[in-house]
Amino acid sequence: MRNDLYPAGIVKELLKTDLVAPNTKQVLNDRLTKDIVLIPHFFTKENFATLQAVCKRLVPQPPRQQPVDLAGLLEEDLFTGSGNGWRYASMPEDKQAIISGLTGIDDTAQDAFGTAFHLLETSHQDSILSSVQNGTAAGKSWALLPVKLFFEELLAKVAELYYSHPSVKEEIGDVSFADNKGWEKIGLDQMEAYEPKIIN
Amino acid sequence: MITNTVSNENTAFKLPGINGMKLYSNDDEVDAVVIGTGAGGAPLLSRLARAGLKVIALEAGQHWNPSIDFATDEVSQSKLFWNDERLSAGSDPLAFGNNNSGTGVGGSTLHFTAYTPRPQADDFNLYDEFSVGVNWPIGYRELEYYFDELENFLGVSGPEHYPWGSPRQSSYPLPPLPLNAAAQLMQRGCKALDIKTSPAPNAALSAPYYKEGIGWRAACTNRGYCQAGCTTGAKASMDVTYIPLAIHYGAEIRPECFVTHFENDPSGKLTSVVYIKNGSGQRQKCRFVFLCAGAIESPRLLLINGLANSSGEVGKNFMAHTGMQVWGQFEQEVRPYKGIPGALISEDYHRPGEVDFAGGYLLQSIGVMPVTYASQVARGRGLWGEALTQCMRGYNHTAGINILGECLPYPGNYLGLSDEPDDRGLPKPIIYFSQGENEQRLTAHADKIMKTIWEKAGGSDIWSFDRNAHIIGTCRMGNDPRKAVVNKVGKSFDIPNLYIADNSIFPSALSVNPALTIMALSLYIADNFLAAT
Helices A94-113, A45-58: crossing angle, 10 deg rounding: 80
Residue A167 makes CB contacts below 8 A (sequence gap 6+) with A11, A32, A64, A66, A68
Nearest CB partner across the interface for A60, out of B88, B369, B386: B386
Residue B10 has pLDDT above 60, yes or no: no
Q: Do A59 and B389 make contact, defined as CB atoms within 8 angstroms? A: yes
A76 at the B interface (CB within 8 A)? no
Q: Which residues of A touch B390 (CB under 8 A)?
A: 1-3
With CB atoms and an 8 Å threshold, state whether A24 touches B374. Answer: no
The C-alpha atoms of residue B267 and residue B283 are separated, in whole angstroms, by 19
Judged by CB atoms closer than 8 Å, whether chains meet at A84 and B81 is answered as yes
Q: What is the mean pLDDT of chain B?
A: 95
If you average pLDDT over residues B361-367, what whole number do you get?
98
Contacts of B220 in chain A (CB under 8 A): 182
Sequence-ordered list of residues with C-beta below 8 angstroms from that of B113, at least 6 positions apart, any chain = B202, B226, B227, B340, B341, B342, B513
Which residue numbers in chain A have pLDDT < 70?
A: 1-3
B487: enclosing H helix or E strand: none
Chain B contact for A18, CB < 8 A? no
The answer to whether the beta carbons of residues B233 and B240 sit under 8 Å apart is: yes
Interface of A with B in 21-50 (CB under 8 A): 21, 23-24, 26-28
pLDDT of residue B11: 36
Please give the Cα distance from B389 to A1 (Å, whole number).
10
Query: Is residue A90 less than 8 Å (CB to CB) from chain B?
Result: yes
Which among A21, A83, A184 has CB closest to B72? A21
Q: CB of B291 within 8 A of CB of B502?
A: yes
Chain B neighbors of A87, CB-CB under 8 A: 85-88
Beta bridge partners of B468: B322
Q: pLDDT, tens digit, for every residue of B482-517? A: 999 999 999 999 999 999 999 999 999 999 999 999
CA distance A56 to chain B (A): 8
Instruction: Describe the crossing of helices A122-133 and A147-163 by its angle, rounded to 10 degrees.
Output: 120
B180 touches chain A (CB under 8 A): yes
According to the model, what pLDDT value does residue A96 have?
Answer: 94
Task: Give B201's DSSP letter.
Answer: P
Q: Hey, what's the torsion of the CAs at B334, B339, B342, B343, to 10 degrees?
A: -90
A13 CB within 8 Å of a chain B CB: no
Residues of chain A contacting B386 with CB distance shorter than 8 Å: 60
At residue B56, what is the residue type?
I
**pLDDT the model gives residue B18:** 73
Q: Do the Cβ atoms of A95 and A127 come closer than 8 Å?
A: no
Nearest to B222 among A27, A182, A195 (CB): A182
Q: Looking at residue B3, what is its pLDDT?
A: 42
3-state secondary structure of B423: coil
CA B253 to chain centre: 20
| Number of neighbours of residue B9 by Cβ within 10 angstroms | 6
Burial classification of residue B194, based on how many CB atoms lie within 10 Å of its CB (0-12 exposed, 13-18 middle, 19 or more buried): exposed
Judge contact between B505 and B490, C-beta under 8 A: yes
| B267 class by beta-carbon count within 10 Å (0-12 exposed, 13-18 middle, 19+ buried) | exposed
Q: According to the model, what pLDDT value does residue B99 have?
A: 87
Tell me, what's the ipTM? 0.97
Cα dihedral A112→A114→A115→A116 (10° resolution): 50
Chain pair A-B, CB pairs under 8 angstroms: 202
The whole-number pLDDT of residue B157 equals 98
Q: Do A187 and B395 touch (CB under 8 A)?
A: no
CA distance A100 to chain B (A): 19
Q: To 10 degrees, what angle do helices A147-163 and A45-58 make?
A: 70
- Over residues B424-465, the pLDDT tens digits come to 999 999 999 999 999 999 999 999 999 999 999 999 999 999
Residues of chain B in contact with residue A29, where contact means CB-CB under 8 angstroms, are none
Selecting from A83, A85, A174 the residue whose C-beta is nearest the C-beta of B395 gives A174
Q: What is the pLDDT of residue B7?
A: 44
pLDDT, residue B16, reads 55
Question: CA A79, CA A94: separation in Å to the nearest integer?
Answer: 10
Q: Return the residue of B nearest to A122 by Cα.
A: B385
Cα B419 to the chain's mean position, in Å? Answer: 28
Q: For A85, which of B74, B96, B232 is closest by C-beta distance? A: B96
Percent over 70 (pLDDT), chain B: 97
Residues B382, A155: C-beta atoms closer than 8 Å: yes
User: Closest-CA residue in chain B for A90?
Assistant: B89
The CA distance from A94 to B367, in Å, is: 30
What average pLDDT does the segment B166-182 reach?
96
CA distance B507 to B319: 9
A105 contact B CB<8A:
no
